[in-house]
Chain A
Amino acid sequence: MHRIAIIGIDDNIKAFAMCGMDAFVVEDEAQAQKLIDRLASQKFAIIFVTESIIKKIPNAISKYKHSATPAITSIPDLFPKKGQSFASKILSINVKKATGSDIFINDSED
């Protein structure tokens, strides 16, 4: 059986711990990067990372892009900033890679 982890800066992610995930509050991105590597080697199938951290560690994310687990997914911060989210950026990169052009531009702006 695999487990689910959640990594964030604000301690609101402890509410997810209440729901049964393993929550880790980190202070900076270096710590988060180390943590992701450690969790990936253990039995964690899904790692949720809040957006402010995931933005700063693209290398850690691309390292696990080709393997089936862990799936590293971004979730919004406690107080999200305006602008394009990390997830939609990743999505448009993937769409571009697959189709050759970003055909969802109009959809994501709605």
Chain B
Amino acid sequence: MAVLDVNPTRMELNKLKDRLLTARRGHKLLKDKRDGLMRKFLETAKKTAQFRIKVEKDILNANLHFEMARAQTSKQVVGSALLIPSQELTVKVSASNIMGVSTPSFSLKRKFNSSENISYALSQNSIYLDESINLYENILSDLVKLAEQEKTISILADEIEQTRRKVNALEHMLIPNYQDTIRFIALKLDENERSNIARLSRAK
């Protein structure tokens, strides 16, 4: 039993009762928040784990084509072919809200420099280079989505940990302490009352 260091007065008792009420309400709200975050987290984590496997497979496939291209022509030729980007990529960052936690969401914007998505001489380079560029091109949006999901997961994990600590602190420390102190003050006041009555009846 942990009794807080307070004066056993009626005013203190009322104050503590108010606080206990607030703590209980906060506890319930935080618990709901934790459960909501957890549901969202598990959903996203499961999805991302599978999504990453798919994206990694795609990247490896594109890498393979790129290696083939480099094997067929010289490194310098491939290097010079890739000097001029065919498009400009930018991302728009906006915040989305999950149970009061703000997480980033990215949307990809492309600006093509030329009508073709290839900006090198076709005659000098192997067909594998064309293919690998196409493959890389196709996984761009998936990569951005993956980055967004992984960021969301790490932010949510932090928030869940924090919320769980708050819930535990309320449940196992604050609320029992308030309850004990309220009981202590009530007993003390009763005791005072009884001794007062005894004193008065003796005086009579």
Contact = CB atoms under 8 A, between A and B. Distances in A.
Interface stretch (B24-32, B62-70, B190-198): B62-70
B199 interface: no
Contacts, number: 136
Contacts of B106: 45-46, 71
B184 interface: no
30 contacts: A2-B90, A4-B90, A4-B144, A14-B79, A15-B82, A15-B132, A15-B133, A15-B136, A18-B86, A19-B89, A19-B140, A20-B85, A45-B91, A48-B147, A68-B151, A71-B104, A71-B106, A73-B150, A75-B59, A76-B63, A78-B63, A80-B60, A87-B52, A88-B52, A94-B153, A95-B157, A97-B157, A99-B42, A104-B49, A107-B46
Contacts of B143: 48, 73, 75
Interface in A34-91: 45-46, 48, 65-66, 68-69, 71, 73, 75-76, 78, 80, 85, 87-88, 90-91
B154 interface: yes
B18 interface: no
Interface of A: 1-4, 11-12, 14-21, 45-46, 48, 65-66, 68-69, 71, 73, 75-76, 78, 80, 85, 87-88, 90-91, 94-95, 97-99, 104, 107-108
B22 interface: no
Interface residues of B, number: 54
